Amino acid sequence: MTNSTGKAFSNAEKQRRYRSKQKQSGKKELRGYLTPEALACYNEIQDKTDWNDSLLISNAIRLMYAAHKCGQVGLLYSWLTEHKR
């Protein structure tokens, strides 16, 4: 990839442009660290679905939102606690 002067873009510039395009398309970058329990759940879901990180996180948030709207967050959290997940 080159800029208007014919020089190649640095990796940092490519990343900045990529992130800018993602923001313009309405996407938001999320970062965080997974607990060992969450990582085990992540690995199992990823193996079964072949979802990439973006799709997995997006669906996890949407499912959590649905559980919240249906009043099921407490029930699901209790299940996770009881099953050490």
- Per residue, the 3-state secondary structure of the chain, as one string, reads CECCCCCECCHHHHHHHHHHHHHHCCCCCCCCCCCHHHHHHHHHHHHHHCCCHHHHHHHHHHHHHHHHHCCCHHHHHHHHHHCCC
Lowest mean pLDDT among 2-16, 19-33, 42-56: 2-16
What value does the mean pLDDT take over residues 2-30? Answer: 84
Residue 8's pLDDT band (cuts 50, 70, 90): confident
67 burial type by CB count under 10 A (0-12 exposed, 13-18 middle, 19+ buried): middle
> Which pLDDT belongs to residue 68?
96
> Which pLDDT belongs to residue 5?
64
pLDDT above 70 covers a percentage of the chain that reads: 93
Q: Where are the domains of the chain?
A: 1-30, 32-85
Does residue 30 have a pLDDT over 90? no
Does residue 31 have a pLDDT over 90? no
